[in-house]
Amino acid sequence: MLRMKSKWGKNGKQRSIADNASAAAFISWRIAQEALLDLENEDYQTDSLSQRMNVVVEFVIFLAHLADRLTFASMSEKEREEFMVTMVKHLARMHQSSMEDIAGVKDYKENFINLVNERMADYSEMPFAEEEADPSFVMRRYLGAKVQEVMGERHNKWIETQVLEINAPAAIKQLKKALDDLYKPTF
Name which of 162, 168, 155, 164 is nearest 45 in CA terms: 155
- Residue 12: pLDDT band with limits 50, 70, 90: low
Alpha helices by DSSP H, listed for the chain, are: 17-41, 49-71, 77-103, 109-124, 137-151, 159-162, 168-182
- In the prediction, which pLDDT does 129 show? 82
* Coil/strand/helix, residue 163: helix
pLDDT (tens digit per residue) in 49-59: 999 999 999 99
- In the prediction, which pLDDT does 155 show? 60
162 pLDDT higher than 80: yes
DSSP for residue 14: P
Cα distance between residue 184 and residue 8, in whole Å: 9
DSSP for residue 130: T
- In the prediction, which pLDDT does 33 show? 97
Work out the end-to-end distance of the chain between its first and last CA atoms, rounded to an integer number of angstroms: 28
Q: What is the pTM of this model?
A: 0.90
- In the prediction, which pLDDT does 72 show? 85
Residue ranges of the domains in the chain? 17-182
80 pLDDT higher than 90: yes
pLDDT (tens digit per residue) in 101-158: 999 999 999 999 999 999 999 999 999 987 777 899 999 999 999 999 998 776 667 8
DSSP for residue 3: -
The Cβ-side half-sphere exposure at 85, using a 13 Å CA radius, reads 6
Q: Which of 7-21, 33-47, 107-121, 173-187 has the lowest mean pLDDT?
A: 7-21
CB 8, CB 71: distance < 8 Å: no
Cα distance between residue 86 and residue 53, in whole Å: 21
